[in-house]
């Protein structure tokens, strides 16, 4: 009987998908922007990710949730080879961006990280002006042919990150003088400025107050139409609010991956249900 599949307890924070949301949740049959297949990650002898396969799609936010230490950030970092910077880390499996192996010898990792940008937990603007924080990437990637063009990219990126109106009269002030929430939007503008295709966010709101968090969530919603976004979050309400797909990790395994509305209202796996109903984590 169908009712046997319903959660034992109602989950209060996620409502079933509206027709509008369902219409947006287009088929998974189309070619994914990124494809991760059989990914395992080891830190020395310890295995942190076990044989995880996930597709990341355009026009969609994919949330990675799960208890502390389950490997969410480790997996996210595989997607733009940030684990390369950790000497003890070893990654096996295949990750493709538009069908190209990101670990292939001909893949330029600087280009990769421009195409697959990252926003970290703690806002980390450069100790430079607001303008320079955003202009730096386009300049080193040769994206502007003139000063005017560079200024246009900076303005467009700050507008897209929802920060322009707050900083347009003080572009020469230090990025580090902004509030935490503004700094995080500056970091998002910095990622956007090099014209990425995917944006990875590793708990981007965990250092922010509720108002700044709401602004970032609104921004994620707006950015979704342009970029594939993957976000690690501890906050299940946030995952339910901002994402269309959710991946639940536990002890390095991908337990369940599916439509966010289904994961939060009708999960297939007992472990997912236990987590979303607060039984552990």
Ligand X SMILES: Nc1ncnc2c1ncn2[C@@H]1O[C@H](COP(=O)(O)OP(=O)(O)OP(=O)(O)O)[C@@H](O)[C@H]1O
- Footprint of ligand X on this chain (CB under 6 A)? 43, 48, 66, 68-74, 86, 88, 234
Specify the residue, 132 or 203, whose C-beta has the smaller distance to ligand X.
203
Between 73 and 260, CB nearer to ligand X? 73
Helices (H) and strands (E) in the chain, counts: 11, 10
CB of 225 to ligand X, least distance (A): 27
- CA angle 43–48–49, rounded 5-degree value: 125
Instruction: Closer to ligand X by CB, 66 or 117: give it.
Output: 66
b vs e for 177-196, b when ≥16 Cβ sit within 10 Å of the residue's Cβ?
A: ebeebbbbbbbbbbbbbbbb
Residue pair 264/256 in contact by the 8 Å Cβ criterion: no
Nearer to ligand X, 75 or 264 (CB): 75
Please say which residue, 72 or 224, places its beta carbon nearer to ligand X: 72
Query: Least Å distance between CB 263 and ligand X?
Result: 17
Q: How far is the CB of 34 from ligand X (least distance, A)?
A: 18
Helix (H) or strand (E) holding 259: strand 253-259
Nearest approach, Cβ of residue 124 and ligand X (Å): 16
The answer to whether 277 touches 7, Cβ cutoff 8 Å, is yes
CB of 259 to ligand X, least distance (A): 22
Q: Which is nearer to ligand X, 34 or 130 (CB)?
A: 34
**What Cα–Cα distance (Å) separates residue 97 from each residue in 15, 72, 183, 229?**
33, 19, 29, 13
Q: Minimum CB separation from ligand X for residue 249, in Å?
A: 6
Q: Which one, 49 or 112, has the nearer CB to ligand X? A: 49
CA separation for the pair 3, 76 (Å, rounded): 35
- CA–CA separation, 43 vs 74, rounded Å? 10
Identify the three-state secondary structure at position 127: coil
Q: Find the angle CA(135)-CA(136)-CA(141) to the nearest 5 degrees.
A: 105
Shortest CB 90 distance to ligand X, Å: 11
């Amino acid at each position: 009987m169908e009712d046997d599949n319903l959660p034992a307890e109602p989950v209060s924070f996620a409502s079933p998908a509206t027709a509008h949301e369902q219409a947006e949740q287009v088929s998974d049959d189309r070619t994914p922007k990124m494809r991760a297949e059989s990914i395992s990650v080891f830190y020395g002898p310890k295995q942190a990710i076990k044989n995880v396969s996930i597709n990341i799609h355009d026009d969609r936010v994919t949330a990675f949730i799960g208890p502390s230490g389950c490997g969410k950030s480790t997996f996210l970092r595989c997607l733009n080879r940030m684990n390369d910077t950790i000497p003890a880390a070893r990654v096996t499996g295949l990750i493709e961006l538009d069908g190209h192996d990101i670990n292939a010898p001909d893949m330029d990792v600087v280009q990769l990280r421009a195409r697959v940008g990252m926003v970290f937990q703690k806002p980390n603007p450069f100790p430079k002006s607001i303008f320079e924080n955003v202009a730096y990437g386009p300049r080193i990637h040769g994206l502007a042919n003139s000063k005017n063009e560079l200024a246009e990219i900076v303005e467009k990126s700050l507008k897209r990150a929802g920060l322009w109106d707050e900083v347009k009269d003080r572009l020469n002030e230090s990025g580090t003088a902004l509030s935490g929430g503004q700094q995080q939007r500056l970091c998002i503008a910095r990622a956007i400025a090099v014209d990425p295709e995917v944006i990875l966010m590793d708990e981007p709101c965990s250092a922010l107050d509720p108002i700044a968090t709401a602004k970032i969530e609104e921004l994620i919603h707006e950015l979704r139409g342009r970029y594939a976004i993957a976000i690690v979050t501890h906050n299940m309400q946030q995952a339910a609010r901002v994402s269309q797909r959710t991946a639940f990790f536990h002890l390095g395994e991908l337990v369940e991956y599916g439509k966010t509305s289904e994961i939060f209202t009708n999960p297939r796996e007992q472990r997912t249900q236990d987590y979303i109903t607060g039984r552990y984590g």
